[in-house]
Structure 1
Amino acid sequence: MSDKPVEQMSFEEAMAALEDVVKQLESGEVPLDESIRLYERGGALKAHCAARLKEAEEAVTRITLGADGKPDGAEPVDIS
Protein backbone atom coordinates (compact mmCIF):
# COMPACT_ATOMS: atom_id res chain seq x y z
CA MET A 1 0.00 0.00 0.00
CA SER A 2 1.26 3.45 -0.93
CA ASP A 3 1.53 6.08 1.76
CA LYS A 4 1.41 8.88 -0.81
CA PRO A 5 -0.54 11.83 0.60
CA VAL A 6 -4.17 11.54 -0.47
CA GLU A 7 -4.37 15.15 -1.67
CA GLN A 8 -1.57 14.45 -4.17
CA MET A 9 -3.33 11.45 -5.73
CA SER A 10 -5.18 11.40 -9.00
CA PHE A 11 -8.72 10.05 -8.93
CA GLU A 12 -7.52 6.73 -10.34
CA GLU A 13 -4.73 6.39 -7.77
CA ALA A 14 -7.13 7.16 -4.95
CA MET A 15 -9.69 4.64 -6.18
CA ALA A 16 -7.03 1.91 -6.44
CA ALA A 17 -5.77 2.76 -2.94
CA LEU A 18 -9.33 2.70 -1.58
CA GLU A 19 -9.92 -0.73 -3.14
CA ASP A 20 -6.71 -1.94 -1.49
CA VAL A 21 -7.83 -0.60 1.89
CA VAL A 22 -11.18 -2.37 1.58
CA LYS A 23 -9.51 -5.68 0.66
CA GLN A 24 -7.19 -5.44 3.65
CA LEU A 25 -10.00 -4.62 6.05
CA GLU A 26 -12.22 -7.38 4.66
CA SER A 27 -9.45 -9.95 5.08
CA GLY A 28 -9.86 -9.71 8.85
CA GLU A 29 -6.15 -10.36 9.26
CA VAL A 30 -5.09 -6.80 10.06
CA PRO A 31 -4.27 -5.92 13.69
CA LEU A 32 -6.67 -3.50 15.38
CA ASP A 33 -4.35 -0.48 15.34
CA GLU A 34 -3.64 -1.00 11.63
CA SER A 35 -7.36 -1.46 10.96
CA ILE A 36 -8.08 1.91 12.55
CA ARG A 37 -5.36 3.57 10.47
CA LEU A 38 -6.68 1.91 7.30
CA TYR A 39 -10.25 2.94 8.11
CA GLU A 40 -9.18 6.57 8.57
CA ARG A 41 -7.18 6.51 5.30
CA GLY A 42 -10.15 4.92 3.55
CA GLY A 43 -12.37 7.78 4.70
CA ALA A 44 -9.88 10.33 3.40
CA LEU A 45 -9.60 8.49 0.08
CA LYS A 46 -13.40 8.33 -0.29
CA ALA A 47 -13.73 12.06 0.40
CA HIS A 48 -10.94 12.83 -2.07
CA CYS A 49 -12.58 10.75 -4.81
CA ALA A 50 -15.95 12.42 -4.19
CA ALA A 51 -14.37 15.88 -4.40
CA ARG A 52 -12.51 15.03 -7.61
CA LEU A 53 -15.73 13.75 -9.19
CA LYS A 54 -17.56 16.92 -8.18
CA GLU A 55 -14.79 19.07 -9.68
CA ALA A 56 -14.94 17.11 -12.92
CA GLU A 57 -18.71 17.40 -13.10
CA GLU A 58 -18.59 21.16 -12.54
CA ALA A 59 -15.92 21.55 -15.21
CA VAL A 60 -18.05 19.75 -17.77
CA THR A 61 -21.55 21.04 -17.05
CA ARG A 62 -23.06 24.28 -15.83
CA ILE A 63 -26.66 24.50 -14.74
CA THR A 64 -28.60 27.16 -16.59
CA LEU A 65 -31.31 29.10 -14.83
CA GLY A 66 -34.60 30.19 -16.36
CA ALA A 67 -36.21 33.60 -15.95
CA ASP A 68 -37.91 32.35 -12.78
CA GLY A 69 -34.53 31.47 -11.25
CA LYS A 70 -35.17 27.74 -11.36
CA PRO A 71 -32.83 25.35 -13.17
CA ASP A 72 -34.02 24.75 -16.71
CA GLY A 73 -31.19 22.72 -18.19
CA ALA A 74 -27.47 22.38 -18.50
CA GLU A 75 -24.89 23.42 -21.02
CA PRO A 76 -21.26 22.51 -21.57
CA VAL A 77 -18.70 24.81 -20.02
CA ASP A 78 -16.07 26.27 -22.31
CA ILE A 79 -12.86 25.63 -20.40
CA SER A 80 -10.50 26.71 -23.20
Structure 2
Amino acid sequence: MTVKKGAKNSLEHSLKRLEDIVETLERGETSLDDAVILYEEGVQISKECAERLKAVELRIQKLSKDIDGQFSLHEPDDV
Protein backbone atom coordinates (compact mmCIF):
# COMPACT_ATOMS: atom_id res chain seq x y z
CA MET A 1 0.00 0.00 0.00
CA THR A 2 1.36 3.37 -0.98
CA VAL A 3 1.03 6.35 1.33
CA LYS A 4 0.83 9.70 -0.39
CA LYS A 5 3.42 11.60 1.61
CA GLY A 6 2.69 14.85 -0.20
CA ALA A 7 -0.86 14.96 1.17
CA LYS A 8 0.27 13.94 4.65
CA ASN A 9 3.06 16.49 4.66
CA SER A 10 0.69 19.09 3.30
CA LEU A 11 -1.71 18.55 6.20
CA GLU A 12 1.11 18.48 8.70
CA HIS A 13 2.62 21.60 7.15
CA SER A 14 -0.74 23.36 7.35
CA LEU A 15 -1.19 22.41 11.00
CA LYS A 16 2.32 23.63 11.80
CA ARG A 17 1.63 26.92 10.05
CA LEU A 18 -1.60 27.25 12.02
CA GLU A 19 0.30 26.67 15.27
CA ASP A 20 2.85 29.31 14.26
CA ILE A 21 0.07 31.81 13.54
CA VAL A 22 -1.55 31.16 16.93
CA GLU A 23 1.78 31.61 18.72
CA THR A 24 2.46 34.86 16.87
CA LEU A 25 -0.98 36.23 17.68
CA GLU A 26 -0.72 35.17 21.32
CA ARG A 27 2.56 37.07 21.71
CA GLY A 28 0.73 40.24 20.72
CA GLU A 29 3.79 41.78 19.10
CA THR A 30 2.26 42.35 15.66
CA SER A 31 0.45 45.38 14.37
CA LEU A 32 -3.33 45.27 14.16
CA ASP A 33 -3.19 45.07 10.36
CA ASP A 34 -0.74 42.16 10.45
CA ALA A 35 -2.77 40.43 13.16
CA VAL A 36 -5.90 40.62 11.00
CA ILE A 37 -4.01 39.21 8.01
CA LEU A 38 -2.64 36.37 10.13
CA TYR A 39 -6.09 35.70 11.59
CA GLU A 40 -7.61 35.49 8.10
CA GLU A 41 -4.85 33.11 7.01
CA GLY A 42 -5.45 30.98 10.09
CA VAL A 43 -9.18 30.77 9.43
CA GLN A 44 -8.52 29.73 5.82
CA ILE A 45 -5.99 27.07 6.88
CA SER A 46 -8.42 25.79 9.50
CA LYS A 47 -11.18 25.41 6.88
CA GLU A 48 -8.82 23.61 4.48
CA CYS A 49 -7.66 21.21 7.20
CA ALA A 50 -11.27 20.48 8.21
CA GLU A 51 -12.12 19.70 4.58
CA ARG A 52 -9.12 17.38 4.25
CA LEU A 53 -10.01 15.57 7.46
CA LYS A 54 -13.64 15.18 6.33
CA ALA A 55 -12.42 13.68 3.05
CA VAL A 56 -10.24 11.21 4.95
CA GLU A 57 -13.16 10.33 7.22
CA LEU A 58 -15.32 9.57 4.16
CA ARG A 59 -12.56 7.38 2.69
CA ILE A 60 -12.35 5.43 5.95
CA GLN A 61 -16.11 4.95 5.94
CA LYS A 62 -16.02 3.61 2.40
CA LEU A 63 -12.98 1.36 2.86
CA SER A 64 -13.72 -0.27 6.20
CA LYS A 65 -13.97 -4.04 6.26
CA ASP A 66 -16.31 -6.02 8.44
CA ILE A 67 -15.26 -9.11 10.42
CA ASP A 68 -15.75 -11.40 7.40
CA GLY A 69 -13.31 -9.31 5.38
CA GLN A 70 -16.01 -7.83 3.21
CA PHE A 71 -15.93 -4.14 2.49
CA SER A 72 -18.84 -2.31 4.05
CA LEU A 73 -19.76 1.19 5.07
CA HIS A 74 -18.95 1.93 8.70
CA GLU A 75 -19.11 5.08 10.71
CA PRO A 76 -15.63 6.17 11.92
CA ASP A 77 -16.55 5.39 15.55
CA ASP A 78 -17.15 1.76 14.54
CA VAL A 79 -13.71 1.40 12.94
Structure (1 or 2) with the greater helix fraction: 2
Q: Which has the higher contact order (CA 8 A, sep 6+)?
A: 1
Identical pairs, percent: 40
Residue aligned with 1:30, SS? coil
> Which structure 1 residue ranges, 5 or more long, are not aligned?
1-8, 63-72, 76-80
Structure (1 or 2) with the greater strand fraction: 1
After TM superposition, the structure 1 = structure 2 runs for residues 13-52 of structure 1, keeping only pairs within 5 Å, are 13-52=13-52
Q: Distance in 2 between matches of 1:55 and 1:46?
A: 14
Structure 2 length-normalised TM: 0.66
Tell me the C-alpha RMSD between the 2 structures.
1.7
Please identify, of 21-30 and 53-62, the stretch whose mean Cα deviation from structure 2 is larger. Answer: 53-62
Structure 1 length-normalised TM: 0.66
Shift of 1:60: 1.0
> Following superposition, which runs of at least 4 residues in structure 1 exceed 3 angstroms of deviation?
none
